[in-house]
Amino acid sequence: DAGVTQSPTHLIKTRGQQVTLRCSPKSGHDTVSWYQQALGQGPQFIFQYYEEEERQRGNFPDRFSGHQFPNYSSELNVNALLLGDSALYLCASSSTTVRSGNTIYFGEGSWLTVV
């Protein structure tokens, strides 16, 4: 059983460009959340998707957008990249069908460097 898978693992972009990161949740999970982890910091919540809709959002600008597909996989898009967007982007998946004792699983992340 594959866990949470993310792609690409590493990428380098130039300021002003756009980037798309992808996430496949753990089998049986229907909810996907995205986090940004800057170097030396704790992860910060970007947003969460369930039933192909954004359900919760953190304090991130509209340059950050996402999408969830019918198969529960998700994309994170960042437009007009800034140097400060350089970070590890983590995808987390969970299930709404088992509420008690449920666990959030994280992928290994996508390292984004903006130059």
Partner 1 sequence: AQSVTQLDSQVPVFEEAPVELRCNYSSSVSVYLFWYVQYPNQGLQLLLKYLSGSTLVESINGFEAEFNKSQTSFHLRKPSVHISDTAEYFCAVSDIGSGNTGKLIFGQGTTLQVKP
Find the binder of partner 1 among 18, 27, 108, 115 (CB under 8 A): 108
Task: Rule CB under 8 A: say whether 58 interacts with partner 1.
Answer: yes
**Nearer residue to partner 1 within complex by CB, 92 or 114:** 92
Task: Rule CB under 8 A: say whether 48 interacts with partner 1.
Answer: yes
As a whole number of angstroms, the distance between CA 67 and CA 16 comes to: 21
Q: Which residues of 66-89 are buried (b: 16+ CB within 10 A; e: fewer)?
A: bebeeebbbbbebeebeeebbbbb
Classify burial at 2, counting beta carbons within 10 Å of its beta carbon; exposed 0-12, middle 13-18, buried 19 or more.
exposed
Find the binder of partner 1 among 19, 21, 81, 90 (CB under 8 A): 90
Task: Rule CB under 8 A: say whether 106 interacts with partner 1.
Answer: yes
Task: Rule CB under 8 A: say whether 53 interacts with partner 1.
Answer: no
